[in-house]
Amino acid sequence: MGYRHVVGQRTHAFADLATLMAKATPVRSGDRLAGIAAESAEENMAARWCLAEVPLAEILARPLIPYEADDVTRLILDGHDAGAFAEIAHLTVGDFRDFLLAASSETLARIAPGVTPEIAAAVSKIMRNQDLILVARKARVVTRFRNTIGLPGTLAARLQPNHPTDDPAGITASILDGLSYGCGDAVIGINPASDSLQALGKLLHLLDDVIRRLDIPTQGCVLTHITTTIEAMNRGWPVDLPFQSIAGTQAANASFGVTLPMLKEAREAALALKRGSLGDNVMYFETGQGSALSADAHHGIDQQTLEARAYAVARAYEPLLVNTVVGFIGPEYLYDGKEIIRAGLEDHFCGKLMGVPLGCDVCYTNHAEADQDDMDTLLTLLGAAGCTYIMGVPGADDIMLNYQSTSFHDALYVREVLGLRRAPEFEAWLARIGLADETGSLLPGDGGLRLLEAAPGLAA
């Protein structure tokens, strides 16, 4: 069924819901690359007017990718909570925006299981940046493994101590640096340069050793392919959080070499290890707009809607952490600072609306038209929006993945400006070890020396 909207003398026609949603999306390079973006500013706005009038029930009834053809669609529809949806079933997309602006945190938590990714994406397309911030701030998602992540007034940070050759001493040096700035409550997460099993084993033991010797209430993760992590668990190695990059279509996940049963298998294996002292959120996922198009697996659907579908995949496995790696994929998908900022806010909003603990790797590559000033802007906006966590990379320069993210200093900046605290168990540890005061502010003096007093052999 088609859609149409009249502007003055012109009638804008949209062949189907996927086309309408693509044309209504704030324009970005990835949708242009796919040949599905609005071709004029007027067409873009006509599509938004038209989309605002579409009933949510109609979006639910018209899957963008057929149920028979795609296991992510089946996951979305089979897991849909009709009871939670009943409260919003009578609304159009435009009504839903108004509803969200007025809704309480309790209401947002209640409807989350009834919000499909297509509904979240549709309403985001007619929202301004301030709407995305305001509603996301009210939608709280709390998860636990060895600490409590996502409480109101908090922002966590992943300590990302990557090294170009996975050198254990170099990685340990970066971990000590990050901890000395009070970073690492979300996870200490290494992207390995090697995908070999032996390298993975060494890094898993390194993380386990640091966390146990310093008695840090946090978790470790080596971000390698899920099948490799399953093999590591089979060998009895210390895995806290299985990791996987995921996308919003079955074919895109296949291009990552991952299937839904693999995710289930990894989660069950990690749960059986019982390594979380406070909770059972054991999975860590990363996503990013453009991954489906990059894998030629986008079905003519816009990249922001497909990104929201990836959160439906994540949601099914009750993750501890999910983050969009918003500017990592490159300028062919998000061209400049403006597109990256908008995408970061959309991704965070959609994840939170769906009940997913969304963080953001606020980042860009050197072939994008962006710089650290753009990252400061997005970081500040996400801090205001209640973002679950950000990355902490030494000096914002990831020397293994070759891109720029946020730094340990950036996390301190956003805490100071917005009054955001760390996960409470981690903050208590910082006070206990003498790195920070009871308000979470770093104490004067060299934190590195204090860490080495607590665990003398670490820098050996």
Partner 1 sequence: MSRSDDLWGRLAALTPARIGLGRAGNGLPTREVLHFGLAHAEARDAVHAPMDAAAVAGAVEALGLRSVAVASRAPDRATYLRRPDHGRRLSEKGAAALAAAAGAPVDLALVVADGLSARAVHENAAGLVAAFLPYAEKAGWSLAPVVVAEQARVALGDAIGAALRARAVAVLIGERPGLSSPDSLGIYLTFDPKPGRSDAERNCISNVRAAGLPQTEAAFRLSWLLGQALARGLTGVNLKDESDRALEQAEAQVQLPADRNG
| Residues found near partner 1 in the complex (CB under 8 A) | 29, 33, 161-165, 167, 169-174, 176-177, 181, 193-199, 225, 227-228, 231, 254-257, 294-295, 330-332, 335, 365-367, 371-372, 394-404, 407, 409, 412-413, 415-416, 442, 444-446, 448-449, 452, 459
Q: Which is nearer to partner 1, 33 or 269 (CB)?
A: 33
Say if residue 400 carries a ligand binding annotation.
Answer: yes
Say if residue 303 carries a ligand binding annotation.
Answer: no
Say if residue 191 carries a ligand binding annotation.
Answer: yes
Q: Which is nearer to partner 1, 46 or 175 (CB)?
A: 175
Q: Which is nearer to partner 1, 172 or 323 (CB)?
A: 172
Q: What is the nearest approach in angstroms of partner 1 to the Cβ of residue 225?
A: 6
Q: What is the nearest approach in angstroms of partner 1 to the Cβ of residue 316?
A: 21
Q: What is the nearest approach in angstroms of partner 1 to the Cβ of residue 43?
A: 21
Q: What is the nearest approach in angstroms of partner 1 to the Cβ of residue 243?
A: 14
Say if residue 402 carries a ligand binding annotation.
Answer: no
Say if residue 160 carries a ligand binding annotation.
Answer: yes
* Separation of alpha carbons 211 and 202, rounded Å: 14
Q: Which is nearer to partner 1, 29 or 303 (CB)?
A: 29
* Separation of alpha carbons 446 and 443, rounded Å: 9
Q: What is the nearest approach in angstroms of partner 1 to the Cβ of residue 206?
A: 13
Q: Which is nearer to partner 1, 260 or 452 (CB)?
A: 452
Q: What is the nearest approach in angstroms of partner 1 to the Cβ of residue 445?
A: 6
Q: Which is nearer to partner 1, 371 or 437 (CB)?
A: 371
Q: Which is nearer to partner 1, 354 or 435 (CB)?
A: 435
Q: What is the nearest approach in angstroms of partner 1 to the Cβ of residue 46?
A: 26
* Separation of alpha carbons 359 and 352, rounded Å: 9
* Separation of alpha carbons 43 and 25, rounded Å: 11
Say if residue 286 carries a ligand binding annotation.
Answer: yes
Annotated binding residues for adenosylcob(III)alamin: 192, 244, 294, 400
Annotated binding residues for substrate: 158-160, 191, 286, 361
